[in-house]
Amino acid sequence: MELQQMVTIMKNLRRLRFLVALVPWLVVPQLLLADECAERETLRIVRIVEGGTRVPRLFIQEAPRRVANMQLHEEASMYIKGLREWVRRCRPQWNNRWHASLFSDAKYAGFKDEEALEPHVRDGSWQKNYLAEYEEQACKLTLYPLLPKRVKVIRVNCNRT
């Protein structure tokens, strides 16, 4: 092997060593972010809508009992804090301009004007299973927004830090 070939191989090895050292800095943060955002299953986020003319929105399947407990301000604040933390990590571009809709069953998670939900809207089941609506900009949680006899508005702390 000639000296020139050996020098070339050594340079290539140095470059390769640099790239190998650089890979963790490029890949690991993305993997960590993916892991943090994977907890959307824990939060029971069944659908995310962003883009278009609508405000970004999380559609969440939640147990009716848990929503009933949100009538206590402290419970509501803790729940919203978890959603805020997820949005801050996984959708930082949303800032404080997003909504969350909570439904008792994933099959109802969507906008009432969507064709697939039309039968549920028509028979009233969509409205009955729409448990809560949260508006981050107003820091307002509305429980049972479409059931006039049960509707309750809770103002949660807007301290977003």
Residue 84: inside a domain:
yes
pTM given for the model: 0.75
**pLDDT tens profile 46-93:** 999 998 889 999 999 999 999 999 989 899 999 999 999 999 999 999
- The residue to which tokens 């009538």 are assigned: 71
- 31 plus 57 within the same structural domain: no
Residue 59: inside a domain:
yes
pLDDT at position 3, please? 77
Of 11 and 73, more confident:
73
- Confidence at 16, pLDDT banded by 50, 70, 90: low
pLDDT at position 39, please? 65
Beta-carbon contacts of residue 154 (< 8 Å; ≥ 6 apart)? 70, 71, 73, 76, 140, 141, 142, 143
Percent of the chain scoring above 90 in pLDDT: 66
> Is the pLDDT confidence value at 147 over 50?
yes
Give the domain range for residue 65: 43-155
Residue 160: inside a domain:
no
> Is the pLDDT confidence value at 37 over 50?
yes
The mean pLDDT of 102-128, rounded to a whole number, is: 97
Do residues 17 and 31 touch, judged by C-beta distance below 8 A?
Answer: no
Residue 42 and residue 50: Cα distance in Å, rounded?
A: 20
Element (H, E) at 133: strand 130-135
Total of domains in the chain: 2
